[in-house]
Structure 1
Amino acid sequence: MSDRAEPRVGPDAAPHEPLGPARPGRFATASLTTVFLLVIVAAGLTFVGLPYVVLSPGPATNVLGSVDGKPVLTVEGAQTYPTEGALDFTTVSFDGGPGRTVTVYELLEAWVRDDVEAASEDLYFPPEATEDQIEAENAEMMNDSQVVAAATALRALGTDVPTSVAIADVPAGGPAEGRIEPGDVLVSVDGEKASDTGAVRAAVQARSPGEDVSVRLRRDGEEQTVTVPTVDTGGRAVIGVLLRTQYDLPVQVTLNTGRVGGPSAGLMFSLAIYDSLTPGSLTGGERVAGTGTILDDGSVGPISGIRQKMVGAHEAGARYFLSPEGDCADAVGHVPDGMELFKVTSFDDARVAVEAIATGEVAGLPRCG
């Protein structure tokens, strides 16, 4: 049977009934209704947010280059040198999370494309976090990564970079609230010098939970001593503060990264700063991309979205990619054609790798897989 009624020309037809336009039958009406409902459902699905994030390749940016006519990297207060080639920091485009919506169509795309990945939203964002909070946190992590990158590059050149331990945040309701403030610089804890964050934690945890700790700090240029009670967290004494390492840099480093946030460009920042402060070209004119956090001891930490970052780097023209060792398992089997993937665990590893790439002697470099 077709979707249109046939003219009545059989035994039940009137002898002289005119054969005019056919009228829709019940099957046709049902079909049109089904199509209409499917259209409505499909349209609705484009607005239904799902508790997932979708990661896709983002742009790669040359730290040695310019964006919108402005240099990405500027170093003041020290001799800098011209260079060539590219040291690309790589990014991931995120859909989902606070303030963003992921639809079923985006999840389907992640299912069929190797360079797009979906994951549960709670793996990337804490419950109840707002879009403004996430943006502020990412901006703070980006700023911290730039400072640590500058300190790492300067230390590799033999420059002394003094550090201090500062208070990043004092969560409400904790034992330090009203006693310690964000921005305070710690001088000592129970008489032990606050030389780094590890020393501060060790001094606090030398106490039994419930005991008081004497904290010497500097606020607005003046020193004072406060007494803070400890509380028990997992069997350890804590005073309820978040710490950060503060650096006294002898040079001013500015990185123009636009709205890119997070800490994962730290490794590439440190290499670019080092290149700018040393004669000649670290890359030998090659385009090298990579990712990874940079920590105070010069070690390289893992990130998320290694597959998407490799694709973004490949599209930008990079033939070589530096991966944190901790991300190798995710990267193997997904390296774009024509790209070589090297694993690094520290700034020194990465510097040696780029120097080898510059000379074409990469056979002995550690690789993922």
Structure 2
Amino acid sequence: MPRRTATLLASTLMLIALLCAGVLIPVPYAEMSPGPTVNTLGDHDGEPVLQISGRKTYPATGHLNMTTVRVTGPDYTMNLVEAVYGWLNHDNAVVPHKTLYPEGQTAEQADQENAEEFSQSQESAKVAALNQLHVPVATQTVVGSVVKDKPADGRLHAGDVITAVDGTAVKANTDVAKLVTRHKPGEKVVFTVIPAKDAAAAEKKGKRPTAGRKQISLTTEKADDGRAIVGIQAGVDHIFPFHIDVKLADVGGPSAGLMFSLGIVDKLTPGNMTGGRFVAGTGTIDDKGKVGPIGGISMKTVGAREKGAEFFLTPKENCAAAAKDTPAGLRLVKVDTIGDAVKAMEKIRNDDTQGLPSCSTSGRS
């Protein structure tokens, strides 16, 4: 066999061997890529994303799109070839697996965590939107979680409304721990509660729950720091004056909060917030309307622009990262609160975009 042919054959076989090895060699990475976007003013899978009843609503057109990032699952094993391809793909990001999934976290646990964050983001989005519209939202103290094998396990349940402890009315969730720790470990403490099922039935009607009230006596035990505890985390639940529901399956995490809030404000307000323009965005939101940063900002701007977005509402803390690689034709708009976002939308609607707060690589507008 001629030397040149032998060398070529050997090189080809070596390349094949390297490719096979790359496919077989697992690497501890995960991939993030642009995910789908959904118009909060429109329909998804045949039904409105935002469904409001018990309050007058108004037609809303244009786009207020929430954006997502598609990620490989916690059980997915990436090989070396896939990792290299991801690194070379401008629109994707390959990151250490533990960045997205803590060590030991199962797929079920990851899904549960994402679902809980998404549910909480919806709750905060509703509160922030109604606060922006000066619509009062009542609150009540509930059992947020119960610690396994502690005194409350099996006696109190997540969602139970706590109205009193030892006969003293509970006015804030912080009152619960204060009232329990007045006791010494081993003493009895009496909770007055309304079961979660009865509370949920009342809340569907927009009323504060009163039916089903009962008393439950628990024996406290000693915590590591010596305090008396029963093994619950008290939380806050909101009682909305009318029904607001978000119909969006297969989405997790908290990053759609801002766009849900704006969609709710638009539907409850005369006129058209978008002016028919295509606006997308992202950002967590808390009850007070503060917009928080999210992950995967560059992939969200890519996904938004691919769908036709002209403007992208960007959390203040994500501005510098987003500005480093903004897709052509997409204008970043910096927001820090829902109030900022509403003002920005007013400028966009009126085609007065010169004064819109923008993003820069330094984080300054």
Give the TM-score normalised by the residue count of structure 2: 0.81
Q: How far has the Cα of 1:56 moved from its partner?
A: 1.0
Q: Paired residue for 2:108, among 129, 132, 138?
A: 132
Q: How far has the Cα of 1:364 moved from its partner?
A: 3.1
Cα distance in 1 for partners of 2:179, 2:28 equals 39
Cα distance in 1 for partners of 2:174, 2:296 equals 30
Aligned to 1:218: 194
Aligned to 1:291: 282
Secondary structure class of the residue paired with 1:80: coil
Cα distance in 1 for partners of 2:296, 2:184 equals 40
Q: 1:338 to 1:239 in 2, by over 3 A?
A: farther
Q: Paired residue for 2:307, among 316, 322, 326?
A: 316
Aligned to 1:81: 58
Cα distance in 2 for partners of 1:73, 1:217 equals 32
* % identical equivalent positions: 39
Deviations 1:183-209 (A, max 9, x none): 2222245777544445556x3797699
Give runs of aligned pairs for residues 200-211 of structure 1, distance below 5 A: 200=176, 203=178
Q: How far has the Cα of 1:88 moved from its partner?
A: 0.4
Q: Paired residue for 1:177, among 153, 158, 181?
A: 153
Deviations 1:142-168 (A, max 9, x none): 222223222322232222211223223
Cα distance in 1 for partners of 2:309, 2:281 equals 9
Aligned to 2:338: 347
Aligned to 2:135: 159
Deviations 1:2-53 (A, max 9, x none): 345xxxxxxxxxxxxxxxxxxxx7x6775565355334323424xx3x3322
Secondary structure class of the residue paired with 1:355: helix
Residues 209 and 232, structure 1, Cα contact 8 Å, conserved in 2: no
Q: How far has the Cα of 1:84 moved from its partner?
A: 1.3
Q: How far has the Cα of 1:357 moved from its partner?
A: 1.3
Q: Paired residue for 2:237, among 203, 228, 246?
A: 246
Cα distance in 1 for partners of 2:194, 2:70 equals 41
Q: Which runs of 5+ in 1 are unaligned?
A: 5-24
| Structure with greater Cα Rg | 1
Q: Paired residue for 1:68, among 17, 40, 45?
A: 45
Q: Paired residue for 2:83, among 107, 115, 125?
A: 107
The one-letter amino acid paired with 2:18 is: L
Aligned to 1:8: none
Aligned to 1:357: 348
Cα distance in 2 for partners of 1:260, 1:277 equals 24
Aligned to 1:147: 123
Q: How far has the Cα of 1:298 moved from its partner?
A: 1.8
Cα distance in 2 for partners of 1:299, 1:192 equals 33
Aligned to 2:30: 53
Q: Does 1:34 align with 2:14?
A: yes
Q: 1:310 to 1:32 in 2, by over 3 A?
A: closer
Secondary structure class of the residue paired with 2:78: coil
Q: How far has the Cα of 1:173 moved from its partner?
A: 4.3
Q: Does 1:331 align with 2:322?
A: yes
Q: How far has the Cα of 1:96 moved from its partner?
A: 4.0
Cα distance in 2 for partners of 1:302, 1:103 equals 31
Residues 176 and 229, structure 1, Cα contact 8 Å, conserved in 2: no
Larger mean Cα displacement after TM superposition, 203-212 or 284-293:
203-212
Residues 174 and 234, structure 2, Cα contact 8 Å, conserved in 1: no
Q: Paired residue for 2:254, among 256, 260, 263?
A: 263
Aligned to 1:2: 3
Secondary structure class of the residue paired with 2:3: coil
Residues 51 and 96, structure 1, Cα contact 8 Å, conserved in 2: no
Residues 73 and 107, structure 2, Cα contact 8 Å, conserved in 1: no
Cα distance in 2 for partners of 1:243, 1:237 equals 15
Cα distance in 2 for partners of 1:198, 1:319 equals 44
Larger mean Cα displacement after TM superposition, 175-184 or 144-153:
175-184
Q: How far has the Cα of 1:264 moved from its partner?
A: 0.9
Q: 1:207 to 1:348 in 2, by over 3 A?
A: farther
Larger mean Cα displacement after TM superposition, 241-250 or 336-345:
241-250
Residues 180 and 228, structure 2, Cα contact 8 Å, conserved in 1: yes
Cα distance in 1 for partners of 2:289, 2:227 equals 28
Q: 1:230 to 1:145 in 2, by over 3 A?
A: farther
Residues 204 and 238, structure 1, Cα contact 8 Å, conserved in 2: no
Larger mean Cα displacement after TM superposition, 311-320 or 27-36:
27-36
Q: How many residues align?
A: 342
Q: Which runs of 5+ in 2 are unaligned?
A: 199-211
Deviations 1:232-253 (A, max 9, x none): 47x9987643444322122222
Residues 131 and 288, structure 2, Cα contact 8 Å, conserved in 1: no
Q: How far has the Cα of 1:354 moved from its partner?
A: 1.1
The one-letter amino acid paired with 2:320 is: A
Deviations 1:268-321 (A, max 9, x none): 001001101111101111111111112122211221111111111111111111
Q: 1:223 to 1:75 in 2, by over 3 A?
A: same
